[in-house]
Amino acid sequence: MKSFKQAGRILAGVVAAAMLIPMAACGGGSTDQAAKKVTGAGADDGTTITLWTRAPLERQAKNVVSAYNSSHKNKVKLEIIPNDDMEGKVGGASQTDSLPDVLAGDVVRIPYWASEGIFTDITKQIGALKNKADLQQGHIEAGTVDGKEYTLPFITDVSIMVWNKDLYKEAGLDPEKGPSSIKDFTEQAKAIAGLNKSGVAGSYVAGQSGGALVFDLFPSVWADGESVMNKEGTEAKLDNPSMKAELEAYKTLANTPNGLGSGSKEETGATWTAPFANGKIGVMPYPNTSVTAIMEAEKKGGFHVGVTPLPGTKEGKTSTFLGGDAMGISKDSKHVAQSWNFLSWLMQDKTQAKVFAAKGDTASNVKTLKTAYTNADKRVQTINSVIIDGNGQTPKSPKFNEAFNAAGSPFQLLVQNAIWGNGDLSADNKAVTKALGDN
C-alpha cells in the first residue's frame, strides 16, 4: 500500500511539473523593455540575427539578406518556411519562446499575430523614421494594435490585371488595351473563349483558395468605393453591388464554353498562376510577383503580356490588394537593437532601390517607386503606379484567416455558391460575418 501512495505522489509531482511548462511560456514583455532603449539605427556589432519568411517570397528575401550581410557586421540568417506550415511553426515557437529575432509573415495574418503578442512594440522607433510617410502604410497599419505599432513592410505583392496579347490578336481584340471595367473583362474573356482552341480559356479563378480569391476579387470592390468589411473587421459587407457584379461576371464565364479554365472550381491555389503563365488563359487578375517571370520568358520568345490596374464596375477607377509580407521583431528576440538595425536599413530609399528596384521587384517605399524605376519596363511602372496612387488597401481583421483564407472558409463557400451554384449572397455574407465576429 505504502508504495502505491509513493507512486501516487510521484505521479502528482510529474503532473504538477508538466502543468508548469505552459506557465513558463506565459512570461514575456521583457523585449518591450529592451526596445525602449533602442534608438537611431540600432546596433551593428557582429551579432547573428535570425529571420523567418515564407516560401512564395523566397527570391526577394534572399536578395535582401545577401545585400545586408555584405554591407554589415551583423549577419542575418534566413530560414524559408513552406507557406502552409508557417502558422503552426510560429505557434509552436511562440509557446516555447523560440521565435526568430525578425519574423516576416503574410500581411493578412499579421493582425492576428500582433494581437496575440508575438511582436515587440517598436512604435517609438517607427515614429522616429524620417521617411515613415513614404512607406507602404498598409503593412504598418496591419501590425497596429491599440495604437502600438509592431510591423514594417518587408515585401510588397499587389494584384493587377494581366492579359495575353497573342491570344487577343487572334481573337480580333486590341492587344494593347486591357479591360477597364468588369464589363470589358467579361466581354474580352468571352471573345477568347470563342476562339474554341483546345486548352485555351477566357479566364481562370482559384475556386478553392480563399487567399487568391480575396487578392483577385476585393480590388474591384474598393475601386467602386465600396468596402468588404466594416472598419473593425468584425462584419462582412460582401453583398454590395460591385461584388455582385463581379461574381455575376465569373458566373457568366463559368456558363460559357471555355469561359473559365478547366480546374478553376477545384484549384486550391497551389498552381493558380500556372495556366496563364503557360499561355492558356486570356485575361485574369494576377499577382505582380509572378509577372516578372512572364516578362523574362517573353524576351526568350514567350507570349506577350499586358498589364493594367484592376478596374471596378465603372471605368476610370482602379484599386489593388496591397499584399505581401510585413515584418516585426519577435517577443523572444535577444538582439532587439541589432534587429532594428536590419529593419531601419531596409526602410531607406537607397536600400529599397538596390535590393528591389534594381532586381525588377516592387519596393515598399513610395519615393523609391517614383524615382528608381525610370528606365524600367513600362509595365513595371504600371504595377508601381497602383501602389503610388494610394487606392490600394490591405483588409484588416484578427479573424481574417478563419473567415477568408482557411481551406473551406465561409468566403470560399460564398464564391463557390455564387459562381458554380445558386448562391444566396446575403445569407453567405452572414456566414462570413459570423466567422469574423466569433470569439
Query: Cell for 221?
Result: 470592390
Q: Build a one-symbol-per-residue string for 210-249: x at contacts with other proteins by CB under 8 A, - elsewhere.
A: ----------------------------------------
Inter-residue long-range contacts of 142-145, CB under 8 Å, 24+ positions, other chains counted:
142/107, 142/108, 142/110, 142/111, 142/114, 142/326, 142/394, 142/396, 143/110, 143/111, 143/113, 143/114, 143/119, 143/326, 143/328, 144/114, 145/111, 145/114, 145/115
- Rounded Cα gap, residues 112 and 105, in angstroms: 11
Residues that bind other proteins (rule: CB under 8 A) add up to a total of 39
- State which of residues 5, 18, 37, 127 lies at the interface with other proteins (CB under 8 A): 18
Cα–Cα distance, 59 to 313 (Å, whole number): 35
> Given the complex with other proteins, which of 115 and 137 has the nearer CB atom?
115
Q: How far apart are CA 337 and CA 42, in angstroms?
A: 5
CA-only gyration radius of the chain, Å: 24
The least CB distance from residue 3 to other proteins, in Å, is 6
CB of 128 to other proteins, least distance (A): 28
Nearer to other proteins among residue 372 and residue 436 (C-beta): 436
Residue 19 in contact with other proteins, rule: CB under 8 A? yes
Identify residues 72-101 at the interface with other proteins (CB under 8 A).
Answer: 87-88, 90-91, 94-95
Identify which range of 113-121, 153-161, 181-189, 322-330 contacts other proteins by CB under 8 A. Answer: 113-121
Retrieve residue 196's grid coordinates.
474554341
372 to 401, contacts with other proteins by CB under 8 A?
401
CB neighbourhood size of 208 (10 A): 21
CB of 293 to other proteins, least distance (A): 19
Stretch of 38-46, 109-117, 120-128, 166-174 lying at the interface with other proteins (CB under 8 A): 109-117
* Of 34, 59, 62, 116, the one binding other proteins by CB under 8 A: 116
We find the least distance from the C-beta atom of residue 100 to other proteins, in angstroms, to be 14
Chain residues that interact with other proteins, rule: CB under 8 A: 3, 7, 11, 14-15, 18-19, 22-23, 25-26, 87-88, 90-91, 94-95, 112-113, 116-118, 208, 262-263, 265-266, 268, 401-402, 406-409, 412-413, 416, 431, 435
